[in-house]
Structure 1
Amino acid sequence: LWTRALAATLPPDRARALHAAALAAAGPAPPPRVVARHAAAAGDPARAAAALVALGDAAADRHRYAEAERHYSRALDCAPPPAVALRARAGRGRARYRLQRHAAAVADLAAAERAAAERGDERLAVGLLLERATALDWCQDRAGAAALAEAAWPRARALGDPRLVARAQLALGVARHRAERTGEALALLARAADGARACGDAETRAIALLVLAPALVYAGRDGDAEARFAEAIAACERAGDDFHLAAALTNRMVLWMKRGDPDAAAADLGRCMRIARRLGNPQLERGAAINLGELELWRGRFERARRLAEAARALQRQFVDGFASYEDALLLARIACARGEPGAAEHLAWIRARCDLAGAPPSIGVLLALVERADADRAAGRIDAAAWDALDRRAADAELLHERLEVLTTACATAAAVGAIACARRWLAAARALARDSQLWSARLTALASRLSPKETPRA
Structure 2
Amino acid sequence: MEVFRGTTPVPLTAGKLRVLLATLLLGANRTVPFDTLVDRLWGENPPPSARNTVHVYTMRLRRVLGEGPDGAPLVRTRPNGYALEITPRQLDVTAFHELLERARAAHTTGAAVEESALLSEALALWQGPALLDVPSESLQRGAATRLTDERLHALERRAEVELRLGRHAEIVGELDALTREHPLRERLWAALMLALTRSGRTGEALAAYRRVRGLFRDEMGIDPGEHVDRVHQLILTGNAAPGRAEAGGPRAQRGPWEVTPCQLPPAPRCFVGRTGPVRTLTRLLTSPAHGRRGSPGGAGEAMPVGIVTGQPGVGKTTLALHVAHAVRARFPDGQLYVNLQGHCRAAPLAPAVALGRCLRALGLPAHQVPADEEERAGLYRSLLADRRVLVLLDDAAEPRQVRPLLPGGPGCAVIVTSRDDLRGLAAIEGGHRIRLTTMTDEESVALLTGLLGPARADAEPGAVRALAAECAWLPLALRIAAANVDALPRTPVARYVDVLRSRGRLAQLVSPGDEGAAVRAAFDLSYRRLSEPAATLFARLSLLPGPDFAGPAAGVLMDRSPAGAAPLLDTLVSANLVSAGGGGRYRVHDLLGEYAAARAEGDAGAPAARARLFDFYLTTARAATALLHPRPRGPSHPPAPGTGCPGPRDEAEALDWLDGELPSLVASARRALDLGRLDHAWRLADALRGYFTSRGHGAEGLAVCDAALVAARRAGNERAEASVLGLLGDIHFLLSGYEEADRCHSRSLAISRRTGDVSGQAGSLFSLGLANVHLGRPGHSIRYQEEALSLARRAGDVDAQALTLHHIGVAELLSARPGLGLRRQEQALALSRRTGNGATLCQALSGTGIVAWFQGDLAAALAAFSECLELARRLGNPHLENNALSHLSGTRCDAGDYEQAATDAGQAISLSRWTGERVHEAAALEALATVRRCTGDTTAALTDYHRALSLARELHFGYGEVRVLTSLIEAYRADGRPARALHYGRQALGRIRATGLLLSRTRAFAGIAHAHLDLGDRPRAVRYAGRALELARRHGQRLVMARSLYVYGLTQQALHGPEAALPHWRAALAVFEELGVPERRRLGELVAA
Give me the TM-score of the superposition, normalised by structure 2: 0.36
Aligned to 1:67: 697
Letter of the 2:729 partner, please give it. G
- State the Cα RMSD in Å: 4.2
Aligned to 1:331: 967
Aligned to 2:536: none
Gaps of 5+ in 1: 454-460
CA-to-aligned-CA distance 1:403-450 (integer Å, 9 cap, x gap): 24544665688899x79874798577776665459674489779x97x
Map of 1:433-452 to 2, 5 A cutoff? 435-436=1072-1073, 440-441=1078-1079
Matched, 1:20 2:653: no
Map of 1:343-354 to 2, 5 A cutoff? 343-354=980-991
Equivalent-residue separation in structure 2 for 1:300 and 1:409 (angstroms)? 20
Letter of the 2:805 partner, please give it. Q
Matched, 1:144 2:780: yes
Closer/same/farther in 2, CA of residues 420 and 391 from structure 1, 3 Å limit: same
CA-to-aligned-CA distance 1:139-184 (integer Å, 9 cap, x gap): 2211221222234343443444334433432232222232353443
Closer/same/farther in 2, CA of residues 203 and 389 from structure 1, 3 Å limit: closer
Equivalent-residue separation in structure 2 for 1:407 and 1:68 (angstroms)? 46
Residue from 296, 301, 305 that aligns with 2:941: 305
Question: Mean Cα displacement is larger for which, 137-146 or 277-286?
Answer: 277-286
Equivalent-residue separation in structure 1 for 2:599 and 2:1037 (angstroms)? 69
Aligned to 2:304: none
Would the aligned equivalents of 2:782 and 2:811 in 1 still touch at CA under 8 Å? Answer: yes
Aligned to 2:902: 266
Would the aligned equivalents of 2:730 and 2:741 in 1 still touch at CA under 8 Å? Answer: yes
Give 3-state SS (helix, strand or coil) of 1:168's partner.
Answer: helix
Aligned to 1:458: none
Residue from 33, 51, 60 that aligns with 2:684: 51
The total of aligned residue pairs comes to 445
| Structure number having the greater strand percentage | 2
Would the aligned equivalents of 1:232 and 1:248 in 2 still touch at CA under 8 Å? Answer: yes
Aligned to 1:457: none
Would the aligned equivalents of 2:1012 and 2:1020 in 1 still touch at CA under 8 Å? Answer: no
Would the aligned equivalents of 1:186 and 1:215 in 2 still touch at CA under 8 Å? Answer: yes
Question: Mean Cα displacement is larger for which, 344-353 or 130-139?
Answer: 344-353
Map of 1:272-291 to 2, 5 A cutoff? 272-291=908-927
Question: Mean Cα displacement is larger for which, 68-77 or 325-334?
Answer: 68-77
Closer/same/farther in 2, CA of residues 384 and 422 from structure 1, 3 Å limit: farther
Equivalent-residue separation in structure 2 for 1:8 and 1:87 (angstroms)? 37
Closer/same/farther in 2, CA of residues 15 and 25 from structure 1, 3 Å limit: farther
Matched, 1:36 2:641: no
Matched, 1:356 2:973: no
Closer/same/farther in 2, CA of residues 380 and 13 from structure 1, 3 Å limit: farther
Would the aligned equivalents of 1:324 and 1:354 in 2 still touch at CA under 8 Å? Answer: no
Map of 1:209-248 to 2, 5 A cutoff? 209-218=845-854, 225-248=861-884
Letter of the 2:704 partner, please give it. R
Residue from 676, 693, 706 that aligns with 1:76: 706
Aligned to 2:391: none
Equivalent-residue separation in structure 2 for 1:384 and 1:77 (angstroms)? 58
Matched, 1:400 2:1016: no
Give 3-state SS (helix, strand or coil) of 2:697's partner.
Answer: helix
| Structure of larger gyration radius | 2
Question: Mean Cα displacement is larger for which, 17-26 or 51-60?
Answer: 17-26
Letter of the 1:343 partner, please give it. R
Matched, 1:204 2:840: yes
Deviation at 1:129, TM superposition (A): 0.5
Deviation at 1:226, TM superposition (A): 4.3
Residue from 250, 258, 269 that aligns with 2:886: 250
Aligned to 1:185: 821
Aligned to 1:112: 748
Q: Percent identity?
A: 18
Question: Mean Cα displacement is larger for which, 21-30 or 90-99?
Answer: 21-30
Closer/same/farther in 2, CA of residues 425 and 217 from structure 1, 3 Å limit: closer
Would the aligned equivalents of 1:156 and 1:165 in 2 still touch at CA under 8 Å? Answer: yes
Equivalent-residue separation in structure 1 for 2:1009 and 2:959 (angstroms)? 27
Letter of the 1:174 partner, please give it. V
Deviation at 1:133, TM superposition (A): 0.4
Letter of the 1:23 partner, please give it. L
Deviation at 1:384, TM superposition (A): 7.7
Would the aligned equivalents of 1:385 and 1:423 in 2 still touch at CA under 8 Å? Answer: no
CA-to-aligned-CA distance 1:93-117 (integer Å, 9 cap, x gap): 2243232111111112112212222
CA-to-aligned-CA distance 1:185-233 (integer Å, 9 cap, x gap): 3332232234345456543333222212222445676665445434432
Closer/same/farther in 2, CA of residues 219 and 258 from structure 1, 3 Å limit: same
Give 3-state SS (helix, strand or coil) of 2:711's partner.
Answer: coil
Give me the TM-score of the superposition, normalised by structure 1: 0.78
Letter of the 1:36 partner, please give it. L
Equivalent-residue separation in structure 1 for 2:833 and 2:600 (angstroms)? 51
Equivalent-residue separation in structure 2 for 1:242 and 1:298 (angstroms)? 27
Residue from 924, 930, 942 that aligns with 1:294: 930
